[in-house]
Amino acid sequence: MLLTAQTVLTGRELLRPGWIEVSGTTVRALGAGAPPLPADRELATVVPGFVDTHVHGGGGVDFSAASASDTAAAVDLHRRHGTTTLVASLVSTGPADLLQQVEVLAGHARDGLVAGIHLEGPWLAVQRCGAHDPVLLRDPDPDEVDRLLQAGGGTIRMVTLAPERPGALAAIERIVSAGAVAAVGHTDATYEQTRAAISAGATVGTHLFNAMRPIHHREPGPVIALLEDPRVTVELIADGVHVHPALYRQVAHTTGPDRMSLITDAMAAAGVSDGRYQIGRMDVEVAGGVARLAGTSTIAGSTATMDRVFGFAVAHSALPRDEALLLAVCQSSINPARALGLPCPELVPGARADLVALDDDLTVTDVLHGGAWVAR
């Protein structure tokens, strides 16, 4: 199959026009200018498939209570919006329930439905619990950490925890030694405590600014510690609700092209209508596309898909459009994959044929996943 596009963003360069040859499940060749043969399909703008490393569900499905068919339905919803690689996130719950959820999702990961598991908790700060049930938050117990990692069988890609909790630094070392990524989030940690977590091996900041001690001129807190360390990739929920566009621009300027990952933090209501839902065992009300804990003003994840956060990044970067597109590709595909050790989605010969076709308004028109068109 030979594809042509007015613009191809490979992940590191821009080809205008460009062409891509796909053989089976992989990219066989690509280049700039006229294609070597007549094209099978002509597209407007092509970017690598989006990689969402922090997503709790979608299409009415919460990953914490999902059967294989439910997981497949949620993944399909996000895939139609351009997410070709998805890591399923779990919120805090009790030890037995969390172990069972990991065992179920580990099977879904081995079956290829998701690219792995993200444990967002339960070792989080009560003061910054967000949409996590504070009753279920606890200190990381070495035995529980080991049981979960063993139950995941290598499918747990990332664990978010608050480094100020007793035992957190030792847990970070255990998580990293097991081959997973330790992330700092839902935390009231000081600047020094966050630096200690990074020294112990933490390399991701979970949804920077949200559920996190704010910056103070005499106590910089976790935000500054995470931003200033070149070893750390910071997540940002660029859905137009969680962070102001000016913060997106400032973080992008601070981190450069290689250290920001755009995420959705999507919950079950992503891609469906307003109404009542759950995230974990917490009741959520969605109105105007904004999810909040029932009866409160607390944001409870998002209803975004990756095409929306990609468009937000391009629209609010204050860069020339081509530069904004290149940066958004790094933030929505290349960086999140690298941060979690997932296969690089860059469009190069030999890579899996995952790509998203966009129109001039950056609306998804087609998605190719493993060389097959996703049903629209």
How does pLDDT run across 38-69, given as a tens digit for each residue? 999 999 999 999 999 999 999 999 999 989 99
Q: Mean per-residue pLDDT for 228-241?
A: 97
What's the pLDDT at 226?
98
| Six-digit token string for 222 | 């976790």
pLDDT tens figures, 19-31:
999 999 999 999 9
265 given a catalytic annotation: yes
Is the peptide bond preceding residue 17 cis, with omega within 30 degrees of 0?
yes
Q: Mean per-residue pLDDT for 98-121?
A: 97
pLDDT tens figures, 110-129:
999 999 999 999 999 999 99
Cα separation, 157 vs 143, in Å, equals 19
User: What's the mean pLDDT when you consider all of the chain?
Assistant: 97
What's the pLDDT at 281?
86
What residues have CB less than 8 Å from 376, skipping those under 6 apart?
A: 80, 366, 367
| Six-digit token string for 49 | 């498939």
Catalytic residue among 265, 307, 354, 366: 265
Cα separation, 127 vs 251, in Å, equals 24
Residues in the chain: 376
What's the pLDDT at 200?
98
pLDDT tens figures, 196-209:
999 999 999 999 99
Q: Mean per-residue pLDDT for 158-174?
A: 98
